[in-house]
């Protein structure tokens, strides 16, 4: 099985090089890995103490950040190495300040795994949520390097739990401990003989709670809001926007809308702006000082990245996009931590926090235009309802914090 796996990895690596000719994302994926070993050689010396964190993409990095920060504080003389598999994570966070070294993870070949671990020589390794690379895990096991899974999620349909999954189950033996998000993940691991597991919860709760401790003020958002009720639309996709624009165009001028689309390509931003009949301004217009009268606008389109979380602090109502596509809704915890009621589309079944908040009625799932209209009208015109749902959201986040400390207590003991 290992031979077949390695053949598939090598074949895929060649295929990706061809794909890179036609895809910018794949080009970043391939080109970004060319200098990894040289970067490691330049930045990590033989006598350095290191700790390695691996995140598949941006979401997993943000999820693991509370633990990365806690480990960095506890081990100030160690170098922190962060790896990404996906360009959508690496390209956004390659200049982060928490890690000493941030690189792509080379493809999971035997030679790459040996060389990478030789250069990094970590004392501890943390895989965030998922991604199980057999050659890396086998090499970590051979060298008896402590390895942990944090905020893990396991599902019955994964290969580990199938009759043919012995090869993958064997890779799990590398982990010294599994910190998982829920009981079902613990039960699944125990069903295949792993008892070194604790239900610690999701570190994203610690991440969003920490947001409240920083300065979230944005002068230009405050100026635009102008003390009016504001709906913040985060990480929206065209399927979300087709419903939202219909509502925006018939809404009262006393309501403000801030839209931060998932995709900020200029042609899609312009198409979105052209579909809105209300007075609309782009963030890039403000940045270039083409329009200084922010408060005169009804809609503010944020055609940049990195400020959505702060913008949620100004929301009276939040709509989080992605719920009309696959795999589903984006991060609802960021607006929830500010005590903001959240509206989402119908596809949220893979996200435990969304399922919980919908059941608690702090979050409302809509399936069509009429339901969106009714929900927004209810929340806009009934302040008590809006405040109650917001309180449910903030309380839910506060009740689930403390995951990072649970993980650190185990590691230090």
Structure-block tokens of residue 64: 């693991």
Q: Which run of H or of E encompasses 301?
A: strand 299-301
Instruction: Report d(CA 114, CA 123) in Å as an integer.
Output: 15
Same fold yes or no, 15-201 and 214-399: yes
Instruction: Report d(CA 246, CA 241) in Å as an integer.
Output: 8
From 3.30.365.10, 3.40.50.800, 3.40.50.2000, 3.30.300.180, which CATH number describes the 214-399 domain? 3.40.50.2000
pLDDT at 292 (0 to 100)? 60
For the chain, 413 residues long, give each residue's pLDDT as a single digit of tens.
Answer: 777 888 888 888 888 887 878 888 888 888 889 999 999 999 999 999 999 999 999 989 999 999 999 999 999 999 999 999 999 899 989 999 999 999 999 999 999 999 999 999 999 999 999 889 999 999 999 999 999 999 999 999 998 998 888 888 999 999 999 999 999 999 999 999 999 999 999 999 999 999 999 999 999 999 999 999 999 999 999 999 999 999 999 999 999 999 999 999 999 999 999 999 999 999 998 866 555 689 999 999 999 988 999 999 999 999 999 999 988 999 999 999 999 999 999 999 989 899 999 999 999 999 999 999 999 999 999 999 999 999 999 999 999 999 999 999 999 98
Give the E-state strand segments of 122-214 in sequence order: 122-128, 146-152, 177-180, 197-199
| Domain residue ranges of the chain, discontinuous segments joined by + | 15-201, 214-399
pLDDT at 14 (0 to 100)? 83
Instruction: Tell me the C-alpha to C-alpha distance, in Å, between residue 191 and each of 96, 194, 197, 264.
Output: 39, 7, 12, 44
pLDDT at 141 (0 to 100)? 96
> So what CATH class is 15-201?
alpha beta
Instruction: Report d(CA 390, CA 393) in Å as an integer.
Output: 5
Catalytic residues: 60
């Amino acid at each position: 099985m290992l031979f077949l796996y390695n053949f598939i990895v090598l074949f895929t690596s060649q295929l990706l090089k061809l794909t890179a000719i036609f895809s910018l994302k794949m080009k970043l994926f391939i080109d970004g890995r060319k200098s990894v070993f040289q970067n490691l050689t330049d930045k990590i010396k033989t006598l350095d103490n290191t700790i390695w964190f691996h995140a598949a993409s941006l979401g997993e990095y943000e999820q693991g950040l509370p633990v990365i920060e806690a480990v960095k504080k506890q081990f100030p003389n160690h170098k922190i190495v962060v790896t990404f598999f996906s360009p959508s994570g690496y390209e956004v966070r390659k200049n982060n300040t928490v890690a000493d070294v941030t690189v792509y993870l080379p493809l999971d070949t035997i030679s790459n795994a040996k060389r990478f671990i030789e250069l990094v020589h970590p004392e501890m390794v943390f895989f965030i949520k998922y991604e199980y690379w057999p050659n890396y895990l086998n090499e970590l096991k051979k060298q008896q390097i402590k390895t942990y899974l944090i905020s893990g999620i396991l599902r019955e349909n994964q290969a580990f739990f199938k009759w043919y999954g012995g090869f993958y189950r064997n890779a799990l033996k590398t982990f010294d401990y599994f910190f998982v998000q829920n009981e079902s993940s613990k039960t699944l691991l125990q069903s295949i003989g792993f008892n070194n597991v604790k239900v610690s919860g999701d570190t994203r709760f610690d991440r969003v709670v920490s947001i409240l401790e920083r300065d979230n003020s944005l002068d230009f958002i405050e100026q635009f809001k102008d003390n009016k009720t504001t709906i913040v639309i985060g990480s929206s996709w065209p399927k979300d926007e087709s419903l939202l624009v219909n509502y925006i165009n018939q809404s009262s001028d006393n309501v403000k809308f801030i839209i931060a689309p998932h995709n900020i390509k200029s042609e899609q931003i312009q198409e979105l702006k052209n579909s809105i009949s209300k007075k609309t301004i782009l963030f890039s217009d403000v940045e270039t000082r083409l329009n200084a009268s922010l408060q005169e606008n009804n809609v503010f389109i944020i055609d940049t990245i990195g400020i959505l979380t702060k913008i949620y602090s100004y929301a009276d109502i939040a709509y989080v996009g992605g719920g009309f596509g696959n795999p589903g809704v984006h991060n609802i915890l960021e607006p929830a931590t500010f005590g903001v009621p959240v509206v989402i589309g119908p596809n949220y079944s893979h996200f435990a926090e969304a399922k919980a908040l919908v059941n608690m009625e702090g979050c409302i799932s809509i399936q069509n235009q009429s339901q969106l209209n009714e929900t927004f009208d209810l929340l806009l015109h009934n302040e008590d309802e809006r405040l109650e749902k917001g309180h449910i959201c903030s309380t839910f986040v506060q009740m689930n914090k403390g995951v990072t400390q649970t993980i650190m207590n185990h590691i230090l003991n």
